Amino acid sequence: MSSYKDKKVITIGIISELTGLSERKIRYYEERKLIFPERTKGGTRKYSFDDVERLVDIANKMEDGMQTFDIRRMEQKKLSKKELRERMLRGQLNAAFNMRK
């Protein structure tokens, strides 16, 4: 789906206003691999509304004393869980398939 939420079209100044975070913080979270803006030909960063939500989420975790390292690992765990779910599903499908033959 080409939703508006994940279209990278917002520059950092406006992102800063929307999230309340300084541009410095936003660029730093990118450096720590927590956020992945696109770039214009000229090199200007472009973010999506999804990124706004992600940044607010990051900000909350930082307030809770979490380090960028922890947050990144947490993101990966989420991915792992998702993968796990997919694998379980695939496993069930395979089992059902195998029963047929």
Partner DNA sequence: CGTGTAAGGAATTCTGACACG
- Contact yes or no for 59/53 (Cβ under 8 A): no
What is the nearest approach in angstroms of a copy of itself to the Cβ of residue 44?
9
Which helix (H) or strand (E) is 77 found in, with range? helix 68-100
Q: Which is nearer to DNA, 12 or 52 (CB)?
A: 12
18 binding partner (options a copy of itself, DNA, none; Cβ < 5 to 8 Å by kind): a copy of itself
Interaction site with a copy of itself (CB under 8 A)? 4-5, 7, 9-11, 13-14, 18, 40, 46, 49
Which helix (H) or strand (E) is 29 found in, with range? helix 23-31
